[in-house]
Amino acid sequence: MVAMARHGVKREPSAGPAPRPPIQAACLCYRSESPLSPVEPLGRRSSSAPDHPPTELLPLETRIGRITNPVPSGMGSLVSVVLRYEEQAMKARYTTLAGILCLVLALGSGCGESQRSPSSDTPIEPSNPTAPVRSTPTATKPAEILRPAPAETAQTTGDQAAGPAPRIEVENPEIDLGVIGPSTQHRAVFKFKNVGDADLKITRVTTTCSCFVPELAKKDYAPGESGTVNAVYHAGSSAGPVHKTLYIISNDPKQPSASLVITGTIRLKVVTEPTSLQFTAAKENAGAVPIRLSCTDQTPFAIRNITASNNAVTFDYDPEKKATEFVLQPKVDQSKLEQTLNGYVRIQTTHPEVPELTIPWTAQPCITLSQPRFILQNAEPGQTVTRTVWVTNHCGGTLEIASAESTKGMMEIAGQESKDGHLKLDIRITPPARKDEVMRYISDGLTLTFTDGRSATIYCTGWYKMQ
């Protein structure tokens, strides 16, 4: 190649591209002498040569301009090859650097988007596709992705998934009876309809009071079919507000128990004074006071009948007499009263709106017990337990026990002491042996009979200790 250059012979280019020498070898030849000038690879740089920066730091056009200077004819092709490879290497470095920069920017952009509030409705704009250092991500709205579906949509989907279902709809779920009289009867008709798209099956109609009785013709109703619940309310004999409820139990998945309510007010047009009675056995005629009946609407009425619990209280009256007011004097049977310490007096009248009146009573007997009942917990057979009872005589006099009888032989009097008109009794309780493992509960009663003929009973209940 050097000989051809000396004789001025030009080297013809080959038909194909010249084989590319390894870039490492080209770089060694190119930079073997000086890193500053590619046009002086074989000789020394003269002292008069102008200073200039390293060729690697200059633009490609400048570097190509430099190689247009006269160079040895044998070096032209080599320099072109070196510059071509260096240009390709520089492009590769730029491409790699741009890719790394895009990756860093993309990661930074993703972190920024993840820190935004999901509830924000501001859309995220896509990056500029023409920017040399950023890729083109697809625009995404995190708020729209995280926002749940509306409740109506979810409910509709659930209903559709459930399929056809019955649905009961009550036309008049509450009926007001208004002002009514005591011991009167009233009818209430509740209308309902199956507004669903499947058969409605009513299991039963329940009530909260035996005074409110429902009637149902049938239990199965096709879609669109209507029905009724006929109810009869028996009003009480006492004045006050009324609030009673019925429940329709059906296969309606949304309303398996439909409520039917009646309201009203019981007002007495025949009132009593007093409204309740208090008896005391220690007083004459048990301390009974007269009972006054009066009609508030001035309608004359007659007393048809008067009854009392255990016939402990009786009255004198004329069933043929009509008036707007009556005064009744109770007559108390002391022995029967002590057997029925809580009872009622029922008065039936001919008044059209007050057929019956009820007056409750309570009574205090002559003899009272401080503890009329014992409860034994975890009792053991044969293990004795002692309890103390104080007996008080409200009718005056000294209490003396004539006899004490135990129903099952568990209870007996272990000791007694009279003090200040009271009688202190120590009651010994001995649980019997268990007949079998099934036997768990025990009970007994100790009846005390006093010398004046009165009596009182002390009861005992309990259960055995589990084995």
- Sequence-ordered strand ranges (E) for 181-300: 185-194, 200-207, 212-216, 220-221, 226-234, 240-250, 257-266, 270-273, 277-280, 291-295
Domain boundaries, given as residue ranges, for the chain: 20-40+54-105+129-137, 168-266, 270-364, 367-464
Between the two ends of the chain, the Cα-to-Cα distance in Å is 120
| Cα 369 to Cα 423: distance, rounded to the nearest angstrom | 10
pLDDT value of position 393:
87
pLDDT value of position 454:
84
The three-class DSSP label of residue 462 is strand
DSSP letter assigned to residue 56: G
pLDDT digits (tens, 9 = 90+) for 135-191: 444 444 443 433 333 333 334 334 444 689 999 999 999 999 999 888 889 999 999
pLDDT value of position 47:
41
455: tokens are: 């009596």
Q: Could you give the angle at the alpha carbon of 286 between the alpha carbons of 280 and 291, nearest 5°?
A: 110
pLDDT value of position 131:
42
CB atoms within 10 A of CB 406: 17
| Cα 196 to Cα 214: distance, rounded to the nearest angstrom | 24
pLDDT value of position 139:
42
- What is the signed CA dihedral for 216, 221, 223, 226, rounded to 10 degrees? -30
| Cα 30 to Cα 22: distance, rounded to the nearest angstrom | 12
E strand or H helix that includes residue 76: helix 76-114
Instruction: Estimate the crossing angle of helix 76-114 against helix 23-30, to 10 degrees.
Output: 110
Low-confidence ranges of the chain (pLDDT < 50): 1-10, 12-18, 20-57, 60-62, 64-73, 111-161
| Cα 467 to Cα 451: distance, rounded to the nearest angstrom | 44
413: tokens are: 């009097």
Do β-strands 168-170 and 270-273 pair in parallel, antiparallel, or remain unpaired? Answer: unpaired
- The CATH number of the structural domain formed by 367-464 is 2.60.40.10
> What φ, ψ does residue 159 adopt, rounded to 5°?
-65, -40
Q: Are 260 and 231 in contact (CB under 8 A)?
A: yes
- The CATH number of the structural domain formed by 168-266 is 2.60.40.10
pLDDT value of position 75:
52
pLDDT value of position 291:
96
- What is the signed CA dihedral for 348, 349, 353, 359, rounded to 10 degrees? -50
| Cα 463 to Cα 422: distance, rounded to the nearest angstrom | 31
- The CATH number of the structural domain formed by 270-364 is 2.60.40.10
Tell me which residue has tokens 């509030």: 117
Judge if 270-364 and 367-464 fold alike in CATH terms: yes
Amino acid, res. 9: V
| Cα 121 to Cα 119: distance, rounded to the nearest angstrom | 6
Cβ-defined contacts of 438-445 (< 8 Å, 24+): 439/464, 440/464, 442/376, 442/379, 442/410, 443/408, 444/406, 444/407, 444/408, 444/409, 444/410, 444/411, 445/406, 445/407, 445/408, 445/411
Distances from the Cα of 360 to the Cαs of 148, 190, 349, in angstroms? 64, 35, 17
